[in-house]
Every structure is written in C-alpha cells, then in structure tokens.
Amino acid sequence: MQTQSCRKTKVSTHISFASAKTLHHACRFARPQGGHQSRHGCPPANVSAPVSLNLFVTIQWNLTNSKQDNFAALRNQRFCRWLRTRCDQLGISVAPYYVYAREKNHVHWLVHIPEELIDEFTDLVSRWVTSLEQKGNAQRKRAQNHDPAPKGTVKIERVGNSVAVRKYLLEGMRPADAFRLGIKKISPQGEIVGRRTGVSRTLGPAARKAAGYKAQRPVWSRNNGRILSAESVGLP
C-alpha cells in the first residue's frame, strides 16, 4: 500500500498546449535575435525583456557516464549560483533568463549569457555535467577541477535566429495543437518523466505582465490545406 508521500511522477509524450504557450510567449518576450516572423506568423512582441537568449545549449545525457538527466541541478545549483557570483565580481547586474525543452536523452536550453562570460560559461557547462556525477568528492569541489564530460555531450551555439529556435523547441507539441502556435514541423520526442519544458521567472507570466506584454491571439488554422488567420475562423 502506497503512502501519501509516494507521489506519482508525471510522464508525458508531448508538450502540452498550456506549457507550449508559456514557452512560446517567454521566447517572444525575450529581445529578438536575428530573423523575422513569416507573414503568417505572430508579429514581434509589443515589449521585450532587456536581454536576448543568445546561446543555444544541447546536453546529451545518454553520452555521460551515469546516463542521468541532471539538468535541474545543473541549472539551479551550478548555473544560477555561478551567474550571481560572477556578476557580483564584475559589478554587473544580470538575472537568469532562459527557457528549456527536455527531450528523450537530451535537453535543449536557450539562455542569456553576458558577452564577457560566454567563454567561461562554454568551458564550464561540460564540467558542471561531470561535477554533478561526482558530488561529494571534496577534492574536486570546484567545477574547474573536474574533467569535461565525454566528447559530444555538450554542444553550445550562438543564436542567429530566435524565431527559428523557438519553433524548434516546440516541435514536441501534439500535432492537433501545434498549428495554433505556428508550428508546422512536428517531431515526437519520446516519453519524459517530469517537466518537459520550463522558463525562468524573468520571462514568466508575472514578469511579462509587469512589463505590459500583450499576448497575440493564435494565428494559424487549417482548412483543406490552406492557412487561415484565427480571426477569419473565429478561434478563441
């Protein structure tokens, strides 16, 4: 007999529409980075966050020694602490800005890193992966003292087109919902235990509301293969 403390962990096969909308609007709220929406897509946001999501990080957990997805710990215990410490040392003020989408065996993480910290961040992510597998090793308390993760585990790219990246992150949506956010390419991403997507508080609903962000109505519909606007078909 299970006790009340033994809660079931949610398992999903697609990004829910509610989660997809949160990620969609968080990405639109971040300062645009290159590229443009198509003529059928949502126009640029009426207001933007002070920074862009300038790095696209992919971590392949299946290539690590433990095969364990440690993204929550890497994000909260490594990245956020490092960013706060380094910004204090440099005399700058930059809060964490990010969105992510977990997929089978890997995670895609779209994040803002100040230009002066990009090289350091690029070196550290791979070492953070290793350090989380060796927690408790007092001789290697600092991430810099850990070896990088196996080759191919971490890939970091500069974002050239934030619109394209947003759509890529949402490819795991249900096909029946995807068109409502302008996602035409769908790619099933496997079964995931726990949260599939997430956004930082700085890009979340409260931050957007405080900034006066206005969400656009859904703009896509399907009608015998044709693309229609939401207004023309009366979508809510």
- Which tens digit of pLDDT belongs to each residue from 143-200? 777 899 999 999 999 999 999 999 999 999 998 888 888 888 888 888 889 999 999 9
Per the prediction, the chain carries an average pLDDT of 85
Output the pLDDT for position 134. 81
Output the pLDDT for position 95. 97
- Which tens digit of pLDDT belongs to each residue from 32-47? 987 655 444 456 789 9
| Residue 45 forms part of a structural domain | yes
Determine contact, residues 30/162, Cβ cutoff 8 Å: yes
Domain carrying residue 68: 11-233
Q: What is the SS3 assignment for 12?
A: strand
User: 15: closest CA among 225, 167, 134?
Assistant: 167
| Residue 1 forms part of a structural domain | no
| Residue 43 forms part of a structural domain | yes
Whole-model pTM? 0.85
| Residue 171 forms part of a structural domain | yes
Consecutive H or E run containing 19 = helix 17-29
| Residue 3 forms part of a structural domain | no
| Residue 97 forms part of a structural domain | yes
Output the pLDDT for position 217. 62
Output the pLDDT for position 1. 40
- Which tens digit of pLDDT belongs to each residue from 58-72? 999 999 999 999 999
| Residue 59 forms part of a structural domain | yes
Q: What is the SS3 assignment for 155?
A: strand
90 or 138: which leads in pLDDT: 90
What's the total number of domains in the chain?
A: 1
CA 137 from centroid of its chain's CA atoms:
30
pLDDT mean over 216-234: 50
Whether pLDDT at 5 is above 50 = no
- Identify the DSSP state of 139: G
